[in-house]
Amino acid sequence: MNDDDSFEAFLRASAPKPLADDGFVARTMKAVDAANATLPARRRAAAPSPLAIARAIAAEQRRHELQARSWRWAIAGVAVGYLMMLVTVVTSPSGLRLETMSPSQFTPLAVVTAIGAFWVAWRTLRNG
């Protein structure tokens, strides 16, 4: 230990004695509790009013009815189309004739179907 170290040890030895608690911790914790009490309460979502709840239910009901109507029209369209096909076949002068098609003949239909699928998907995603 050199002279400087000795002098530093000497200064450390001269440090005042630790202070007794003397109720300091209890007083401080009271102040901590008081500070906690004055903190703003965490923001909670306000409860919706009955009118807002009624409006939300009505809007949901309208969306549901619109969707059900769309489905009904779609099913009716498919059924009418099928019936028209049957009528056309039955009334055809040459009668019913089955032909196999080459895969390349499906290409226009596949393209139209794909475009339709993408369009429905895009609308669905855009509207959430």
Partner 1 sequence: MVNDENERVAAAHAGWLALARDGDRHAFARLVRAHQSRVRLQLRRLTRGDAALADDLAQETFVQAWLHLNEFRGDARLATWLHRIALTRFLQHVRRPQLPQEWCEPDADDEPGHDPRAVEGLSRDVERALQALSEIQRLAVVHCFHLDLSHAEAAQVLGLPLGTLKSHLDRAKTRLRELLGAWQPESAT
The binding track of 24-63 with respect to partner 1, each residue x by CB under 8 A or -, is: xx-xxx-xxx-x---x------------------------
Q: Tell me how far the alpha carbon of residue 119 is from its chain's centroid.
A: 22
Q: Position 34: which residue type?
A: A
The binding track of 76-95 with respect to partner 1, each residue x by CB under 8 A or -, is: --------------------
* Contact between 15 and partner 1 per CB under 8 A: yes
Residues in Cβ contact with 1 at an 8 Å cutoff, skipping those fewer than 6 apart = 9
Q: How far is the CB of 23 from partner 1 (least distance, A)?
A: 10
Q: How far is the CB of 43 from partner 1 (least distance, A)?
A: 18
Residues in Cβ contact with 33 at an 8 Å cutoff, skipping those fewer than 6 apart = none
Region from 10-18, 59-67, 101-109, 114-122 binding partner 1, contact rule CB under 8 A? 10-18
Instruction: Please compute, for residue 117, the number of CA atoms within 13 A of its CA located in the half-sphere on the CB side.
Output: 6
Q: Cα(120)–Cα(114) distance, rounded to whole angstroms?
A: 10
Q: Cα(61)–Cα(54) distance, rounded to whole angstroms?
A: 10
Q: How far is the CB of 41 from partner 1 (least distance, A)?
A: 15
Residues that bind partner 1 (CB under 8 A): 3-4, 6-19, 21, 24-25, 27-29, 31-33, 35, 39
